[in-house]
Amino acid sequence: MSDPLTVLCVTGWCRNGSTIIGNVLNEVPGFFHVGELHFLWKNATGRGVNDRCGCGEALTGCPVWSTVLPIGRPDGTSPDAHAATVIRRQWSRVRTRHTWRVLRRGLYDDEIRAHADLMGRVYHGIAERTGARVIVDTTKIPGEAALLAHLPGVRPYYVHLVRDPRAVAHSWREPKQYVYAMSAARSTGYWHGFNRASAAITRRYPDRSMFLRYEQFTADPAGTVDALLRLCAADPAGNPVRDRTVHLHTNHTVTGNPDRFRTGPTLIRDSDDGWRRTLSPGRRWAATALAWPLFGRYGYRSPGPAPATVGSTSDNGR
């Protein structure tokens, strides 16, 4: 039997910087960043907020996704009806609230077995079409992440990625192209729930998991990529970061931060303190208080750590 396919899975709450990290890893030989694969069926059938691949094509016209979308679709079933089935299973079996059940009981009924079967075939289909040895998935939804360990022929590695909840709340203040706005309290409520569920996964699989603060990545992008390569036993010689700069080529991300369309030499800056200038004291308080006690456990301090972070632009989350 051939070696299992490696999937490097990033979990955590949205706007945590996963898109830029995924796109940097996309430059490692043998790695392929799919963006947020969970949303492929939704976005390809007009149900999502955007329908573009990172390559600029519609998902249904992209050379990668146009050939992946038919995988697992029964004969005689329309793309729209198939997508509706996939979305129903995602909603009923692998949302964040289902994470603990998937960890505890695995493939416990026909619906979750059907979803696992599809996802296994999709990951292998992507590898066959792209030649990838490592698929980087920045979906971030912990229920999907927990399911990965049950897919046949797949070996998952987990990165629990956290970003200062005040920076995340700042990012959610304004709608970003196709992503709506969210209050600081609501953003931080989700931050808490997604991070608790992500921590449950990494506790379950400690030997193939890593906790990462986004601020660590922007403080030392090359060193962080080294650590990520070590995590999944990849050759460190493939690290594409030189002097904080990475040359980004076209990618095929399903969705993510609008910066995913950026290509060319990209500087990863060590500053992510926009929230200090513009996030009101009330919003800061809400983000800090609601994130407690994880806020302190993750190494964040009030009024905040020294300026750290963001990538090539002012906001790299989602």
Question: Which C-beta is closer to Zn ion: that of 54 or that of 156?
Answer: 54
Cα distance between residue 143 and residue 97, in whole Å: 7
When the beta carbons of 145 and 254 are compared against Zn ion, the nearer one is: 254
Q: Which of residues 101-120 bind Zn ion (CB under 5 A)?
A: none
In whole angstroms, give the CA distance from residue 135 to residue 150: 16
Task: List all residues 6 or more positions away from 45 whose beta carbon is below 8 Å from its beta carbon.
Answer: 79, 80, 83, 84
Q: How far is the CB of 56 from Zn ion (least distance, A)?
A: 7
The HSE-up count of residue 99 (CA atoms within 13 Å, CB side) is 21
**Which residue, 28 or 44, has its beta carbon nearer to Zn ion?**
44
Residue 48 has φ and ψ, to the nearest 5°, of -95, -170
Q: Is 57 or 220 the residue whose CB approaches Zn ion more closely?
A: 57
| 213/252 with CB nearer Zn ion | 252
Q: DSSP labels for 164-180?
A: -HHHHHHHHTS-BTTB-
User: Is the dihedral angle over the CA atoms 228, 117, 198, 250 positive or is it negative?
Assistant: positive
Stretch that binds Zn ion, among 45-53, 141-149, 212-220, 223-231 (CB under 5 A): 45-53
With binding defined as CB under 5 A, does residue 132 bind Zn ion? Answer: no
48-67: contacts with Zn ion (CB under 5 A): 53, 55, 62
Shortest Cβ 65–Zn ion spacing (Å): 6
Least distance from C-beta 55 to Zn ion, angstroms?
3
Please say which residue, 71 or 114, places its beta carbon nearer to Zn ion.
71
3-state DSSP assignment of residue 151 = coil
Closer residue to Zn ion, CB minimum distance, 52 or 115 = 52
Q: Identify the three-state secondary structure at position 6.
A: strand
Which has the closest alpha carbon to 133: 296, 260, 306, 6? 6
Q: How far apart are CA 253 and CA 36, in angstroms?
A: 7
CB nearer Zn ion, residue 262 or residue 269: 262
Instruction: Quote the least distance from Cβ 129 to Zn ion, whole Å.
Output: 11
**Sole binder of Zn ion in the list 140, 173, 213, 252 (CB under 5 A):** 252
User: What is the smallest separation between the CB atom of 159 and Zn ion, expressed in angstroms?
Assistant: 23
What number of chain residues touch Zn ion (CB under 5 A)? Answer: 4
Site string for Zn ion, 199-238 (x = CB under 5 A): ----------------------------------------
Q: How many CB atoms lie within 10 A of CB 78?
A: 10
Give the separation between CA 217 and CA 269, rounded to whole angstroms: 10
Smallest distance, Zn ion to C-beta of residue 156, A: 23
Shortest separation between residue 137's beta carbon and Zn ion, angstroms: 15
Given a contact cutoff of 8 angstroms between Cβ atoms, the answer to whether 298 and 213 are in contact is yes
Query: Beta strands of 81-168 (E only): which ranges?
Result: 134-140, 154-162
CB of 37 vs Zn ion, minimal distance in Å: 13
Q: In the complex, which residues of this chain contact Zn ion (CB under 5 A)?
A: 53, 55, 62, 252
